[in-house]
Chains A and B, each alone.
Chain A
Amino acid sequence: MTMMEKEPQQPLSEWVTLISHDEFTFHILRSSANLSGTIRRMLDPKSGFKESVTGVCHFENISGTVLEKVCEYLYYKDRYQGMTNVPDLEIAPEVSLELALAADYLDCRAVACEGIMINVLI
């Protein structure tokens, strides 16, 4: 009788789509996308928001360049999470500020920190 029970238990799609404000489209594994707190909530089937129904997320305040880096980071994190001696993720200095803002917005502050640190190292 709760919302959760009312939803038919559809298997979730493996891939989701992220679209930047300048219409760059990225297909990314749901499991990796969920590493961002904001994206995870957005896609949560329990809430039933539009994004969770369509599997498509629009980001009106993120550019394609930055969103690409975000996706790259999410994969990077998904792959190396919890491991030691991981290779650096290269971040160009010119996107670092924007990337930091996006990280804050997407609730994956690790990107910001690591990004800046990596940036400083380069």
Chain B
Amino acid sequence: MSSEFVECQRGAEATLSRGTYLGKRVLLKRRPPKAYRHPHLDSALTKERTRAEARALIRARAAGVRVPTLYLVDLQRSSIYMEDVDNGITVKDYINKIQPKTEEESKLDSLMNEIGICISKLHSDGVIHGDLTTSNILVTPTSGNFGKLCFIDFGLSHTASTIEDKAVDLYVMERAMESTHSEAQRLLMRLLAGYLSHSGKAAEDVFKKLDQVRARGRKRTMVG
């Protein structure tokens, strides 16, 4: 069965393949064993990470943020079989493809606003994505509109409710956008406005912290 899967991406942590499973088009995320680690430690770590990712996906969904549907989480094979979002493209590709001065460009503001709201929903429920970038958010564009948002890759996520964690999460997004999009500043403003509109007072504290994080970088301590 797994032989019918075609690898489409490979990262440091996992490989992604496309295929059909239980009659659905799915994406298989598998964390291959790392030979440089002791086998016991490796399997414990891999299991824990697969489990953490599955947990975060369920929590994000419960918070009202769209994530891929899960079809099987297999800790023994350290694999997650999930929905391959129909017509999904990354927000990064979507922004880059947009022609200036078109109707789609004017939709960008509302897209960023929407992303801000979703991040805020995650944060209110204590889900820290950990790797927010425009490549880890999908849109399903239909004529002139960006369609539905779908957050992916919760591989680095954790649950926390401290302001520090939320600010760092936003900071990661900010840095990622600055390095990929020419209009990052304007887009970020919209994103933060969306975040503020949903989080309200809680957002103000996060923004205050965000200023501090900007000044010192992602790590609070100088260790590691």
Bound together: no
- B interface residue numbers (CB < 8 A to A): none
